[in-house]
Amino acid sequence: MEGALARSRMVMIAAALVLTVSGCTGERDEVRTETNLANQRKAAIAFLEKQGGVERIRFTQEGDKPGVGALWSANAVVTIAGVEYQEIIGPHVRGGDPLPSIAPGAPTGPVTVIFSDESSEVIE
């Protein structure tokens, strides 16, 4: 009888731990998503400060820090003069396909930024 009672207590404790951890995960995921969306916006603005001629930036992933000491970045498709370029951009990171040499601030009009959650913003 004692063995069955001990097992029952262990199952209840394990179930309580699983419920506690899974309840916190949803809140953490929501905070991480909000942080990543804010980083996407910062990354788009930083990208536009260095690259001219951009018509659209579409983030294809939420973004993250890929390793210890790494800076935040996300994959994006950048459209310049109707041509799509695969880029990795972050507030302090930039890489990917070679881009045309167009000075920042070159007149192109507003830039549509499509975030990984499919929301969008027009940056002038």
Point out the least confidently predicted range of 16-25, 26-35, 88-97, 111-120: 16-25
pLDDT band at 87 (very low <50, low <70, confident <90, very high): very high
Tally of domains in the chain? 1
| Residue 43 and residue 91 in contact, taking contact as beta carbons nearer than 8 Å | yes
pLDDT at 20 over 70: no
Contact 122, 65 (CB under 8 A): no
Task: For residue 17, give its domain range.
Answer: 2-123
Contact call for residues 59 and 40 (beta carbons, < 8 A): yes
More confident site: 87 or 10: 87
Identify the residue with better confidence: 77 or 4.
Answer: 77
Q: How many helices (H) and strands (E) are present in the chain, helices listed first? A: 1, 6
Give the Cα separation of 86 and 89 in Å (integer): 10
Read off the pLDDT band of 73 (50, 70, 90): very high
